[in-house]
Structures are given as C-alpha cells and as structure tokens.
Chain A
C-alpha cells in the first residue's frame, strides 16, 4: 500500500539473521555480521521490500525485546468467516466444502463486486424467478442462462444447474451413472469376447447424451478411478510380507481393513496388478479434442475477442479451462480468517483477537507502537523568519501547502524529524544516516542534531502542572546568516523532541551542473551508471538508524507486566533494580518525490 508523503517505515531485521546463518560457516557469520553492522540500510535493495513496515503493522515481543514483523510471527487461524455475510464457518465445513461461502454470497465474475439476488417478476411482488445480478457492472446470471426458483440457498441451487439451465447431476447421481456405464461397457466387452479397444464405437445406448464431460465430472471420475485402484492395490491379507508404511494411503487402508473386513479374505489374492493409469473418460481421462479447438477458433472469428475472458477473470474462475464469457460462473465469496500471532522464536502470543467475528477487540495485543519511538518527518516551513516563527499557530500551518511531490533538486530543504517516546522512562536517542542516499539519485542528508534526549511518557497532566521544560528560544537556533545552527534540537515537549534535517535533493539526470562538479561527491557515481531511472527512483527515501538507550525497571518486566501496563510500578521503582537497555533499528523516512527539472 503506497502511502502518501511523508511516511516512515520501520525495518525488521529478521531476514538478515536467518540468511546469514543458513549459508555460511560460523567464522564467516561473524565476519558477515560485522560487515552487516557496518553497512547502511538500503531501502532500494530488493530485499528490503520484505522488511519495511509501517509502525502500526509491527508487534513487539516483550520476552525477546524485539520488533516482530508479519514475517517473524507465526499465525494460527482462530476461525473462518465470510466477509460478506459475516457468518462464522466451522472448520469442518471449510475442510469439506472449501474456503468459500456456502450461503448466498457471490461475487461478480467480471468485476468482483458482490452480487444481489433480484427478482425477474414484473408483477411487483418479488416472486420467482430470481437471478444473481451485479449492481456495479450489470452482469447477471441471465447472460449464462441461469434462473433460480427461490431467493435463498442460492449456492445449492447454483450447484445443481449448469450454464444454460441444464441440470447438473449431484455427486451421488454421478457415481451411480458411472457405475451404470461401466457395467454397460463390461457387458459389451464380454459380448464381443475380444478386447479390441480400438474399434470401440459408441452404441446407441450410451449415446444418450454424448456431450464432453464437464470439468467437475472428469475430476470426480478420476477421483473414483484412483480410489478403486488403491483398493485393488491393497492386499486382502493384511499380514503380508510387506513392510507396513504408515505414510502410504494403501497401507493405511490395509490396516483399517484388518479390523473391518472379514469377507475380503475370501477374494483370491491376485498377485499385484500393476497400478495403471486412467484409460477412458469414465476413468477420468481427457483426450485432447482438436475439434473443440477448431470450434473455439471459429467462435473467436465470429464473435471477436470480446467474447473471450481476460486473464484475471479467467484466473478467478474455479474451472481453469474456461475461454468464453458464456461459460462464466458466479464466484462464491472467499472466506476470511481471524488469526492469532505468536513470536517465531519464543512462541509467546503477541496478538490474539476475540473469536467473535464482529468483535474488533483483542485479548492480547503487544504493539511495537507502545515500545518503539515513533519517528515522523515533515517539511519545515521555509520562511525562517524569527519574528513569525515564534507564535506558530497550528491551524494556519504554512507547511500544509508544502508540495511533497515536488522537491527541488540542489536546493537545501529543511525537514523536521519528530520523535515521540511511548516508554515510561526517558530515553537517549542517537540518530545516524548515510551522508548521501543510496540509489542513483543521490541526495545529501545532514541531521543537524543527531543526539538528544526525549522525555518519558508520563501523565499528560505532569506536563501542565510541572512546567520544568524551559521554552526553547528558537531565535537562538537561527544564526545571522539565516541558517539553522547545528547541534541544537528544534523543539521538544513532554515525551517528544524534534530535530532539523537538512536535505539537498539530488539531480534526476546527471547533468554537468557546475554545482555538481564542485560537489564532487554526488556527481561522480551518478554519471558512472547512466542507465536511466527506474520506477520510483526519484522518491527521496532517507535511511535513518535509530539507537535508543534507557534505564528500565527489571522487576516490572520479569513479572510479565509490559512497560505500557506497569508504568505506575516502574515509577515507584519496586525492588529498585534498574537495568540499562538499548534498542537499535533502521527506519526509512519517505520525505517526498524529487521533481524533474
């Protein structure tokens, strides 16, 4: 999900730790780890796609004291539900009927909008027949010739009717029909007394409906065939010389037979008929029919591409072999799940929602938001006029007019990096950033005050009652030349501090500007690989390394009280044991897009 500027992503380092240990020897791992520490985080590396998350998607494991991203948690499904009718589906039904809603929820096969059941009755009292219609693109089951007699139980009605209104036999009827056909064939074979499959011609009896069997039918046939094969394979005597392999289905059914069937001993043990493959349509064999292809080509000639399906429409269908728009079926809505999440390394539960579908509350929820400082960036108003600066009124903020999508190359721009502390202890923050952004467009970045303190997240009223914080005289921050002085914080509050970052956006095209030539740093490399810009290469993303140090209460942690919960205890200092903690992580701050010159 692309976020509008400015944004902050947090890097979870879980992917680094797994790959290095897997492939290298211990000595190399150490070296690699050291190297890893040295290296700057590159937000453009293809791998970092998988490690950057917005803060609200991250969890925090209090036992490992680490951020947990969606990749380093284990998910456990609590329940399944239909997102459309919000009914919970029991897991047994999911196993038997698949992950689709078995009520009246359908999506349009063309545009995916949910479909409604409409009446075709013109008399005005909403009687039968009914159809499924899409309110968005106006596709309806009329186009595939399906109408329903009742307005409820649509999915069972739909299962019984093929496109065009023909009846689809149920599983049982299909099985019976298959048996009947098989017997017929058997009899015919006996009558001829010779096995001559080549001259097998359909007799008048089987020609009753010699339409090509549908996808479902073939699948059912194939399933039945393999089942029978498996049964045939099972030796009637369970105590045969074979080793019993519990993993194979035949061995399993053999063991089951051991207890159930006594009659099976009677049928002679015919020595291992080899496991054969399906040999006829009744056994689920499909033979490529060139006539069907010719017909399809003929149809495309006649009706044009308009009658064919787009890849995405085709992909959404359950039968993968559809080609034409009259073969579409309404799609039963896919189910959703509610999941709990566990830490991958210590297996503690990090988040557990309430099982009720409509409930949005959580039983357990350990958010990174409550443990990791929130970093945010925004443009600093350009008019650094001390007189105007002082009473900066929030409603008429001039920065709302700042165009984040049009950063100007080569012109120093100031951003405000704002760090707020969710912890109940004051923290000491050290920020680091590479001097130029990685990638082809190299922008110079300077954090004017890389080391500072952030107050504890105490009661809001503490701030108001004890005004210990001296107001920052911002005029002193700006020197005579109108530049912001380095080494001083911009502003701070109860549990937040903001510092200024100076950014000189790079040039999209490595033109030989005199500025660049003098610069010496930005120009050289950019000219080296002049391969044009990739997508989003003009986005100014600043990797920022954040390291925080603080003293936390040991006892409160060990008693299992989170920092967020045990805040009151921590202040009292039960036991008095304090330990020094250190948390470090990479973030990527998206400051804007550099405008082309």
Chain B
C-alpha cells in the first residue's frame, strides 16, 4: 500500500475546481489548454507539466469542414497526476518533420510523483509508481502496476494485469485477482474520519482519493 504522494500543506485554493470536478493545481504548468481534455474528477497536482501545445500538425479530416482543434492529451475520469510529473506527447520524425501523436490516459489511473510520460496509451486502473519514465509510444493496458523507478522502453506493450519493473522494465509478475478491489467488500466505503484506513487501493476506484485532495 503505497502512500499518497507528499501532499504539501497547501494554502487555501491550491486547486482550481472545474464544473466536472477536475482539480487543477495553480502551480501546475499547462500549455496548450485547448488541446487537453480532462474526463472529470481528475487531479493535476502542483508542478505537473502537460505539454498540450505539442499536438498533431497533420490536417484533421472533419465532416463539417470546420477547423477542429486536435487533441494532444486526453485524460479520463478520477485520474491523479502527482507532483512533478511531465506528460509529453510522443513524437516521431518522418521526412525531417517532427510529428506528435496524442496521449490517451484512461480512468482511475494513478501517476506517482516525478514521472516522465510519453506513452501513447495508458488504459484504466493503472498504478504508476514514483520516478517512472515511460518512453514514447509505449502502450500500457488495464490493471497494470508499474513499480517505482522503472523505465518503460519505447514501443513496449504491457499486457493487462502485469506488474512491471526495472530498467528497462520487464514483466516481473502478475497482479492478484483482488487488484483494485477495495477492502470493505461490496460498496466498500471504508472508515470515514480520523484513523480510518486509506479509502482507496492501488488500481481501484480513485474517487475517494480525489475527494480527499483539497
């Protein structure tokens, strides 16, 4: 059970909350906001860098003929991006021109502090430890746990339910059948108030964690 990332005793109003419940730190560095979508109840912590300005330069075919803003980063619901992490869309050079591809991150993904992420896809219920580097075009499937300090090499596909770690990362195990099942059993809202257990588990529903971040 890893602890939540170091939550600094923030002054009031550390987070800007949007209508859909996204919490974005005032101290995060986000560029190209038009190209970023957040699914709702997603937390972007302090010192997170989202490079939304690095979007695809290819013309997007649109039915209405209108100019469509290309998406460069899309993040699902109840996902937590911890302090100091960087999300940068992967880039491929073809014919001397760099082309950026959009990053897609699913629901209930926990990204630990100080990660550098250039993956093309991160599916839902993925737990990424601290100081993880994900090289361009990696694909991470559902229910994957990435151990802290791992380096995921470029183009690597991580099968659902794997535990990976190391530099370069390799599959070191499988998550148990109980991955992401919160401890209280069905509908397991655990203890409320002081002394209660952490109300979220790795790979599980992060709604409680999101709620507790203020």
Q: Which residues from chain A contact B3 at a C-beta distance below 8 Å?
A: 4, 400
Shortest beta-carbon contacts, A-B, top 9 = A392-B194, A56-B178, A422-B185, A57-B176, A113-B153, A374-B183, A83-B159, A135-B154, A136-B153
Instruction: Give A471's nearest chain B residue, CB to CB.
Output: B193
Q: Mark B152-192, 1 if CB is under 8 A from A, else 0.
A: 01111111111100001011110111110101111111111
Chain A contacts with B in 1-20, Cβ cutoff 8 A: 1, 3-4, 6-7
A392 adjacent to B193 (CB under 8 Å): yes
Query: Smallest distance from the beta carbon of A455 to chain B beta carbons, Å?
Result: 11
Interface size on A, residues (CB 8 A): 67
Cα distance A114–B173 in the bound complex, in angstroms: 17
Known: A54-B176, A368-B178. A6 touches B153 (CB 8 A): no
B177 adjacent to A83 (CB under 8 Å): no
Q: Pick the contact of B178 from A85, A367, A394, A490 — CB < 8 Å?
A: A367
Does B214 reach chain A (CB closer than 8 Å)? yes
A367 adjacent to B159 (CB under 8 Å): no
Q: Which residues from chain B contact A394 at a C-beta distance below 8 Å?
A: 193-194, 196, 212
Q: Which residues from chain A contact B198 at a C-beta distance below 8 Å?
A: 376
A369 adjacent to B1 (CB under 8 Å): no
Known: A54-B176, A57-B177. A376 touches B191 (CB 8 A): no
Does B147 reach chain A (CB closer than 8 Å)? yes
A491 adjacent to B184 (CB under 8 Å): no
Known: A86-B157, A420-B197, A493-B196. A370 touches B1 (CB 8 A): no
Query: Smallest distance from the beta carbon of B180 to chain A beta carbons, Å?
Result: 8
Q: Which residues from chain A contact B189 at a C-beta distance below 8 Å?
A: 460, 494
Query: Smallest distance from the beta carbon of B130 to chain A beta carbons, Å?
Result: 10
Residues on A close to B: CB < 8 A?
Answer: 1, 3-4, 6-7, 53-59, 81, 83-86, 111-114, 116, 124, 134-137, 336, 341, 351, 357-358, 360, 362, 365, 367-370, 374, 376, 378, 389, 392-396, 400, 416, 418, 420-423, 457, 459-460, 490-491, 493-496, 498, 564, 567
Interface size on B, residues (CB 8 A): 56
A376 adjacent to B184 (CB under 8 Å): no
Q: Which residues from chain A contact B95 at a C-beta distance below 8 Å?
A: 124
Instruction: Give A134's nearest chain B residue, CB to CB.
Output: B153
Q: Which residues from chain A contact B170 at a C-beta distance below 8 Å?
A: 112
Q: A58-B176, A491-B196 are in contact. List 17 more A-B contacts (CB 8 A).
A: A55-B183, A56-B175, A56-B176, A56-B179, A112-B170, A341-B177, A357-B159, A365-B177, A367-B181, A369-B185, A394-B194, A420-B191, A457-B186, A460-B187, A493-B196, A496-B191, A496-B196
B214 adjacent to A84 (CB under 8 Å): no
Q: Which residues from chain B contact A4 at a C-beta distance below 8 Å?
A: 1-3
Q: Pick the contact of B1 from A1, A3, A58, A114 — CB < 8 Å?
A: A3
Q: Pick the contact of B157 from A57, A114, A392, A493 — CB < 8 Å?
A: A114
Cα distance A396–B6 in the bound complex, in angstroms: 11
Query: Smallest distance from the beta carbon of A137 to chain B beta carbons, Å?
Result: 8
Instruction: Give B192's nearest chain A residue, CB to CB.
Output: A493
A422 adjacent to B183 (CB under 8 Å): yes
Q: Mark B136-161, 1 if CB is under 8 A from A, else 0.
A: 00000111000100010111111111
Tell which of B3, B147, B183, B197 has the most Cβ of chain A within 10 Å: B183
Residues on B close to A: CB < 8 A?
Answer: 1-4, 6-7, 9, 95, 135, 141-143, 147, 151, 153-163, 168, 170-173, 175-179, 181, 183-198, 201, 212-214
Q: Which residues from chain B contact A564 at a C-beta distance below 8 Å?
A: 185-186
Cα distance A57–B214 in the bound complex, in angstroms: 32
Instruction: Give B129's nearest chain A residue, CB to CB.
Output: A4
Known: A81-B159, A358-B160, A496-B196. A370 touches B185 (CB 8 A): yes
Cα distance A365–B186 in the bound complex, in angstroms: 13
Cα distance A116–B138 in the bound complex, in angstroms: 12
Cα distance A58–B177 in the bound complex, in angstroms: 8
A-B contact pairs, 14 of them (CB 8 A): A4-B2, A112-B168, A113-B153, A114-B156, A124-B95, A135-B154, A367-B181, A389-B194, A395-B7, A396-B9, A416-B195, A457-B185, A495-B185, A498-B191
Q: Which residues from chain B contact A378 at a C-beta distance below 8 Å?
A: 197
Instruction: Give B179's nearest chain A residue, CB to CB.
Output: A56
Q: Which residues from chain B contact A494 at a C-beta distance below 8 Å?
A: 189, 191
